[in-house]
Amino acid sequence: MRKLIRLTLLVLCIMILPGTMIYAASNPSEVSLYFNNVVQKQAAILSGGDILLPAEQLSKSLFALISLDETSKTVRIYKPNVNMVLLDNNGEIFGKVKSPARFAFSTLLQVDHLKTEISDIKLTITDPADKTETIDNQQIKKSEENFWFKTNEFTYSFNTKGTYTIQVYFKDVDSKTWYPVSEIDVFGI
């Protein structure tokens, strides 16, 4: 009788073990997410042959605005075309600055294909030491699909050689969230 019980338990264990292993193997696994050859902070998830990407990380990488509607369970991604030109105080376009220098400039934005409402525009500059300063922050009176925007003149000290990154952010009307939509580098030489 004992041998029969042992044999039955052994057969049950052998039958359950492969099912447990298959179940364990079917769990989602993390996949490294690279954008322009740079690994992203949040990993993607591979589940059942589908790759699931984190929407917030995707927004930052693609310079897009994201709208999440939890009631209808929809995510909308808006990718406006935002072009940026830097103008010195003489109206000349520039992209390099001899450092150290104190320099006055303004930024001209050309925006098209903006398919959602925004309330504000903000521009920041980040120096090579990762210190960020706001260049301009303005409320938009009327959000349009296509428009031009020029910042107020801003005086900045380019103290060290290296890359200075200027980023443009739009604030979404619905979520009140700032989203980066464009960036340009200025080189301190």
Token pair, residue 189, equals: 């030489």
Dump pLDDT digits (tens) for 126-172: 999 999 999 999 998 888 899 999 999 999 999 999 999 999 999 98
Query: β-strands 96-97, 178-188: how paired?
Result: parallel
How far is residue 76's CA from residue 82's CA, in Å, rounded to a whole number?
18
Average pLDDT score over the chain: 84
32-68: b or e for each residue (b if 16 or more CB lie within 10 Å)?
Answer: ebeeeeeebeebbeeeeeeeebbeebbbbbebbbbbe
Which positions ≥6 away from 114 have C-beta within 8 Å? 78, 80, 143, 144, 145, 146, 147, 170
Which positions ≥6 away from 22 have C-beta within 8 Å? none
Whether residue 20 is predicted with pLDDT greater than 80 in this model: the reply is: no
Termini Cα distance of the chain: 88
Predicted local distance difference test score (pLDDT) of residue 165: 95
H or E element that contains 83:
strand 81-88
How far is residue 139's CA from residue 81's CA, in Å, rounded to a whole number?
19
How far is residue 60's CA from residue 85's CA, in Å, rounded to a whole number?
21
- What pTM does this model have? 0.74
Dump pLDDT digits (tens) for 64-99: 888 877 788 788 888 999 999 999 988 899 888 888
- Domains of the chain by range and CATH? 80-188 (2.60.40.3880)
Lowest-confidence pick of 23-27, 119-123, 139-143: 23-27
Whether residue 180 is predicted with pLDDT greater than 90 in this model: the reply is: yes
